[in-house]
Amino acid sequence: MTDKNPLAVAKGHGPALLLLLIVSLIGLPLILPSATLATEILIFGLAALACNLLLGYTGLLSFGQGIFFGAGAYGAALLMIHLHWGMLGALVGAALFGALLALLVGALAIRRKGIYFVMLTLAFSQMAYFLAYTLSGWTGGDNGLLDVPRPNIEIAGHVLVDLANPRHFYAFVAVLFLLIFAGALRVIRSPFGSTLLAIRENETRAAAIGYDIRHFKILVFMLSGAITGIAGALYAMLLHFAPLSNIDLMMSENILIMTIVGGTGSLFGSLLGAGAIVVLGDVLSELWPRWLMLLGAILILVVVFMRGGLWGGLADLVKRLQPSRTLDAKTKETL
Amino acid sequence: MSEFLLETRNLQLAYGPFRAVDGVDLKVRAGTIHTVIGPNGAGKTSLFHCLTGERQATAGKILFNDQDIIRKPSHGRVALGMARSFQLTSLFQNLSVRENLRLAAQGRDGLGALNFWRSVEHKRSHWDTADQVLERLKLNGRAETLAGELSHGQQRVLEVGMSICAKPTLLMLDEPTSGMGIDDIPVMTELISDLGRDHTVLLIEHNMSIVMSISQRITVMSHGQILVEGTPDQVRNDERVRTAYLGEAA
């Protein structure tokens, strides 16, 4: 599933990738019918990016991403509702909450490898769902947590940005996305990130040359949990609502599907994957109530015929059509 | 400080009632190339696993620089100055040759490698080490090639080369010529004797021509125990060694 050499993307192409991202972030709300849909894409793009750090860069298939997404949503909502925390406080809280839960899940799950690791994340996912279901006093149980606020960005009572406006909220999320994406690029190109690739490639050798694998896996889990927590918080703010489905196994699956469809070899692929699935869901669900079947078919097609995911497919296409990369950077984002 | 860099005392590795390593007292003098040989099933690889930390010895002591390391996990032994290569080539196949070596150099940082806010470019010393080792392995021309795309012989060379990146005092090489074509073997022999100038080398090897030409000391194992230890000449002329090998063949 993994692209042959993700370092090829990580090395040297950083500025070009960021430029491509900025163009995409500006173009997205212009192409799509609503700013809300564009915001949703970015939010799931964040969740998929966080999942990609685990799957694409460390080789860890986690079915626990929904835990951190849901936890971020509930955590931020509760902080805002009960403690009246502002926007940034709620986001930091969600990130910490996500990281903390990832520490718990990660510390136990990484004691096993391969299929057993996957099963452990599945088990945690089930537990988290029923925990949220049971604690209905806090989470609203089946009804979800209602009336989640979307606070404005204020300094000393003075409103800097009014986020009630969907376009403003999109811009805010876009800036966050850019910052987190740039941060994640940095992480990939750090000693830590390069070691993750080594672990993905060959765990035994990585241990033999001196790396304590557990520490690396736990740290990447926490980073992933923090980013997913932020995504969950933003989603609750977008909907003004934190449904129980946020922490459902289905959410973990969706995040994984977006990551795989987008391509595990590139962080930008995660945004593509999220975009493709969110837009498809939006379009298809209006045409046909059984649209999830089509989604399954698309996943099969991508996995079988496009091993690098959408990102890999596009990169191939660009290579075949035109020798010049810079021109294509512009055409790529329209997809 | 004792004259031995690595010393085992009554080392034992048991699988149930079977003792793969049965009371081994190995003494590796600093600055030598010390080879462990023996017929198949003699316990060489089991001994090697205890030394690298891959297996937990069931009894005895392993002294490295006079420090008992028997409970240290494999990754913890790197920072002390021990490094190993694998019998079955174990590389980062989809990463470049240079990156393979840089990662191996970075490994000695231990938890320092958890640094996620700085670029890898920042640590010049790891890149410098990688480039020096590339030169030494004569792989400079293939620096940006993916490790998996190297020829088998070159992969074996890289396999051994990765173990010197952490600047170890003790190199433990597990059958470095394993699976190598007859044409590539002289390259490996030369490389190991070259590495022997800067490192103490503990070698496990089947290929007798290598063993006899580059080792200063040879330990012969049989049935989990040390049969004979001595210089290549002593071992060559030892009656017990012949019987052990011939007995195996017969």
pLDDT in tens, B145-203: 999 999 999 999 999 999 999 999 999 999 999 888 888 899 999 999 999 999 999 99
Q: What is the pLDDT of residue A1?
A: 37
For residue range A165-201, list pLDDT tens digits in order.
999 999 999 999 999 999 999 999 999 999 999 999 9
> In Å, what is the CA distance from A95 to each residue of A69, A101, A187, A267, A294?
10, 10, 17, 19, 34
Residue A333 has pLDDT above 70, yes or no: no
Contact A169, A35 (CB under 8 A): yes
Parallel/antiparallel/unpaired status of strands B217-222 and B33-37? parallel
A150 — pLDDT class (breaks 50, 70, 90): very high
Q: Is residue A224 within 8 angstroms of chain B, CB to CB? A: no
Other Cβ atoms within 10 Å of B229 Cβ, number? 18
Rounded distance between C-alpha atoms, residue B250 and residue B246, angstroms? 6
Any CB–CB contact under 8 A between B4 and chain A?
no
pLDDT above 50 for B33:
yes
Closest to B112 in 3D by CA, of A100, A159, A195: A195
Report yes or no: A182 at the B interface, CB cutoff 8 Å: no
Q: Report the candidate in A235, A272, A203, A253 with the shortest Cα–Cα distance to residue A98.
A: A235
| Both tokens assigned to B137 | 């392995």
The pLDDT value given to residue A7: 45
* SS3 labels along A277-293: HHHHHHHHHHHCCCHHH
The pLDDT assigned to A2 comes to: 40
CA-nearest residue to A205 within chain B is B90
Give the model's pLDDT for residue A327: 46
Sign of CA dihedral B7, B13, B17, B20: negative
Specify the pLDDT at position B163: 94
What is the arithmetic mean of pLDDT over B216-243? 92
Please state the CATH superfamily assignment of the domain spanning residues B1-85+168-250 in this structure.
P-loop containing nucleotide triphosphate hydrolases (3.40.50.300)
Residue bearing the bigger pLDDT, A2 or B192: B192
Structure confidence by residue, pLDDT tens digits, A221-239: 999 999 999 999 999 999 9
Read off the pLDDT of each residue in A122-140 and give the average, rounded to a whole number: 95
Residues of chain A above pLDDT 90, percent = 75
Whether A131 shows a pLDDT value over 50: the answer reads yes
Q: How far is B75 from chain A (nearest CA, A)?
A: 4
Asked if B159 reaches chain A (Cβ–Cβ under 8 Å), the answer is no
Q: How far does the CA of residue B147 sit from the closest CA of chain A (Å)?
A: 11
Instruction: Give residue A324's pLDDT band: very low, low, confident or very high (50, 70, 90).
Output: low
Name the minimum distance, in Å, from the CA of B8 to any CA of chain A.
Answer: 20
Q: In this complex, do A205 and B86 lie within 8 Å of one another by their Cβ atoms?
A: yes
Q: Hey, is the C-beta of A84 within 8 angstroms of any chain B C-beta? A: no
Do B114 and A216 count as a contact with CB atoms less than 8 A apart?
A: yes
CA triplet A125, A131, A134: central angle to 5 degrees?
Answer: 145
Contact A207 B110 (CB under 8 A): no
Find the range with the poorest average confidence among A44-58, A219-233, A285-299.
A285-299
pTM equals: 0.90
Q: Give the model's confidence band at B209: pLDDT under 50 very low, under 70 low, under 90 confident, else very high.
A: confident
Give yes or no for residue B1 having a pLDDT over 70.
no
Counting residues of chain A whose pLDDT is more than 70, the rounded percentage is 92
SS3 of residue A63 by DSSP: coil
**Residue ranges of domains in chain A:** 6-332
Q: Provide the shortest C-alpha distance from residue B117 to chain A (in Å).
A: 6
Amino acid at B233: D
Mean pLDDT of chain A: 90
Q: What is the ipTM of this complex?
A: 0.90
Nearest to A194 among B86, B91, B120 (CB): B120
Distance, CA of A228 to CA of A76 (rounded, Å): 12
For the ranges A74-78, A192-196, A250-254, B183-187, the lowest mean pLDDT is seen at B183-187
SS3 of A60, please?
Answer: coil
Give the model's pLDDT for residue B247. 65
How confident is residue A81, by pLDDT bands cut at 50, 70 and 90? very high
Note whether B166 contacts A210, CB cutoff 8 Å. yes
Give yes or no for residue B130 having a pLDDT over 90.
yes
pLDDT band for A8, please (50, 70, 90 cuts): very low
Domain A6-332, CATH:
1.10.3470
Name A159's bridge partners: A154
Distance from CA of B74 to the nearest CA of A (A): 6
